[in-house]
């Protein structure tokens, strides 16, 4: 017999992240690399373990192979537990047929049996799309203090940004009285972070009602929350202050990486009290060659630098060979930048090899956009890839390249 869990986390990790284009060709968005040695999902998973939540269901659907392999038994996050720990929850076949997860709410609905195994008082719903450090236990305390049925974490955004988010209107006690999904004329700047704490019973009630409604799109933001509001349930907004970034687009992913650099970086990963854990292999230390130049950059294990690296975030095992220059770019695990090549304002995904004397992207000041090279692509010697180009597979090089 094991103790019941106070809170179980359900992490929605099935999204494709279609606005990351080439980067999510073969991997689900939560498994996209970030900050050199992390993947996006490391943030919610580390937040869970740092907040004392040791039972996490990860709902997968789109391209789950890399994600499944990455999470494995949960060892890097101390989530390999005798009872609880991290569990992958893919869509499954039931007695009445098989269903994909139709929406965020439907994904949880189909896994209510998983939650029941631990008999928790609270369920926290998370998504694998954001970079942030947050103590969920404080939010759960707030939820208890407010005696709420559901608590939604919100962050203050500008009125302009508010048009892109689900916006909460609250009274002076932070009680939510109105919810608007991507409003044209927002009347609040409290944006939903997609983090919900529910009383388990209340969650199950609304999920079941929602599942019975054939017109519902089975989404928390679109259906469950409005339903609960109109039924007069107690919904509260929990204000979060700190770094939080949606990395759903190429630009925001690049920006979030750059937030790690500079004199006083906006996001620090070296915080001993709130460590971000990640799975990584046995890579040797970094080696910096005799003629290397490195400025304002973040490097990790296995990197070998013989050229010039400026304002970059490099993943594990990245090699920058003699005479190569890499500026204002994010280079993911094991990519190689060949001799004399120039990479500017680009994102290069893992295992790609840039040949000799290539030119990828344009200087950040004049570029139309970020050049992106997808995973495991071999770019032949002398190739020129225009700024803003998106290379998902080798054949794209002929179209967009030279």
Partner 1 sequence: MSVVGLIFSNIHDSSIPELTSKRTMASVPYGCRYRLIDFPLSNMVNSGITKIGVIAHNNYQSLLDHIGTGKDWDLARRSGGIKILPPFISAYAGGSSSKLYTTRLEALYGVMSFISRCNEEYVVLSDCDGICNIDLSKIVDEHAKRQADVTIVTRKITEDETDNNDGIVVSFDDKDVVTDVSTYVAGTFGVEVSTNIVVINRLFLLSALRDAGAHGETHFYHDLIAKRLRRAKIFRHLCEEQYIQIASLESYFSSSMKLLESNVRDKFFNVENRPIFTKLRNSAPTIYASGSSVKNSCIADGCLIEGTVENCIIFRGVKVGRGTVVKNSVLLQDTFIGNNVSLNCVITDKNAVICDGRVLSGHSTMPFFIPKGTMV
Shortest CB 42 distance to partner 1, Å: 10
The DSSP secondary structure of 157-186, one letter per residue, reads: --TTGGGGSEEEEE-TT-BEEEEEES-SS-
List the interface residues with partner 1, window 305-324 (CB under 8 A).
309, 313-314
How many Cα atoms are found within 13 Å in the side-chain-facing hemisphere of 106? 20
Pure H helices in 60-135: 64-71, 104-109, 112-118
Span from 15-23, 126-134, 202-210, 297-305 in contact with partner 1 (CB under 8 A): 297-305
As a whole number of angstroms, the distance between CA 180 and CA 190 comes to 11
- Tell me, residue by residue from 78 to 117, as one string, x for binding to partner 1 by CB under 8 A and - for no binding: ----------------------------------------
> For residue 353, what are the CA distances in angstroms to 44, 218, 287, 350?
31, 42, 19, 9
Judged by CB under 8 A, the number of residues near partner 1 is 40
| Minimum distance, C-beta of residue 283 to partner 1, in the bound complex (Å) | 8
At 214, list the tokens: 């054939």
Number of Cβ atoms within 10 Å of the Cβ of 106: 21
Residues of 36-66 as b/e, b for ≥16 C-beta within 10 angstroms?
A: bbbbbbbbbbbbbbbbebbbbbbbbbbbbeb
Nearer to partner 1, 32 or 390 (CB): 32
Least distance in angstroms from the C-beta of 59 to partner 1: 25
> By CB under 8 A, is residue 178 in contact with partner 1?
no
Q: For residue 178, how many C-alpha atoms fall within 13 Å in the half-sphere facing its CB?
A: 10
- Binder of partner 1 out of 131, 258, 299, 354 (CB under 8 A): 299
Least separation in angstroms between CB 296 and partner 1: 4
Give Cα separations from 165 to 186, 209, 254 (angstroms). 10, 25, 20
| 161 near partner 1, rule: CB under 8 A | no
- Report the nearest approach of partner 1 to the CB of residue 250 (Å): 21
Binding partner 1 (rule: CB under 8 A), the pick from 69, 177, 296, 378 is: 296
Among 282, 365, 366, 399, binds partner 1 (CB under 8 A): 282
- Shortest gap between Cβ of 297 and partner 1 (angstroms)? 5
* Least separation in angstroms between CB 259 and partner 1: 13
Half-sphere exposure of 243 (CA within 13 A, CB side): 15
Binding of partner 1 by 341 (CB under 8 A) = no
Q: Tell me which stretch binds partner 1 (CB under 8 A): 55-63, 233-241, 270-278, 361-369.
A: 270-278
The two structure tokens encoding residue 330: 């994010």
Count, residues in the chain:
402
Q: How far is CA 338 from the centre of its chain?
A: 30
Which residues, including other chains, have CB under 8 Å from residue 168's CB and lie 6 or more apart? 152, 154, 176, 178, 179, 188, 190, 191, 192, 237
Comparing CB distances to partner 1, the nearer of 77 and 179 is 77
Does the footprint of partner 1 cover residue 36 (CB under 8 A)? yes
Query: Using CB under 8 A, which of 75, 159, 231, 378 touches partner 1?
Result: 75
Binding site for partner 1 (CB under 8 A): 35-37, 75-76, 260-261, 263, 265, 268-270, 275-278, 280-282, 284-301, 309, 313-314
């Amino acid at each position: 017999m094991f103790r019941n869990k106070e809170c179980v986390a359900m992490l929605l990790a099935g999204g494709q992240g279609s606005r990351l284009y080439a980067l999510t060709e073969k991997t689900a968005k939560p498994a996209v690399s970030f900050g050199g040695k992390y993947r996006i999902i490391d943030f919610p998973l580390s937040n869970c373990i740092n907040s004392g939540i040791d039972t996490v269901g990860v709902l997968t659907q789109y391209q789950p192979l890399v994600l499944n392999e990455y999470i494995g038994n949960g060892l890097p996050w101390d989530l390999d537990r005798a009872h609880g720990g991290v569990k992958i929850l893919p869509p499954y076949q039931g007695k009445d047929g098989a269903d994909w997860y139709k929406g965020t709410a439907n994904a949880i609905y189909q896994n209510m049996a998983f939650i029941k195994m631990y008999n928790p008082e609270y369920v926290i719903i998370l998504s694998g799309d954001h970079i942030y450090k947050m103590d969920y236990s404080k939010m759960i305390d707030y939820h208890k203090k407010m005696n709420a049925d559901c608590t939604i974490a919100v962050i203050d955004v500008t009125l302009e940004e508010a048009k892109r988010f689900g916006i909460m209107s609250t009274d002076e006690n932070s009680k939510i009285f109105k919810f608007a999904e991507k409003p044209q004329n927002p009347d609040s700047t409290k944006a939903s972070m997609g983090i919900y704490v529910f009383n388990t019973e209340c969650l199950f009630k609304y999920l079941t009602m929602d599942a019975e409604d054939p017109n519902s799109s089975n989404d928390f933001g679109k259906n469950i929350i409005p339903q609960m509001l109109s039924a007069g349930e107690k919904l509260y907004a929990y204000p979060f202050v700190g770094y939080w970034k949606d990395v759903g687009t190429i630009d925001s992913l690049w920006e979030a990486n750059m937030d790690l650099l500079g004199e006083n970086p906006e996001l620090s990963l070296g915080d001993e009290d709130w460590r971000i854990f990640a799975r990584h292999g046995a890579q040797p230390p970094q080696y910096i060659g005799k003629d290397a130049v490195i400025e304002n950059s973040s490097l990790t294990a296995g990197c070998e630098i013989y050229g010039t690296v400026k304002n970059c975030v490099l993943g594990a095992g990245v090699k920058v060979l003699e005479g190569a220059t890499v500026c204002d770019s994010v280079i993911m695990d094991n990519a190689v930048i060949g001799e004399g090549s120039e990479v500017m304002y680009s994102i290069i995904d893992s295992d790609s090899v840039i040949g000799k004397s290539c030119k990828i992207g344009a200087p950040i000041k004049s570029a139309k956009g970020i050049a992106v090279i997808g995973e495991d692509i071999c770019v032949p010697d002398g190739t020129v890839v225009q700024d803003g180009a998106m290379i998902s597979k080798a054949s794209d090089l002929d179209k967009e390249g030279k």
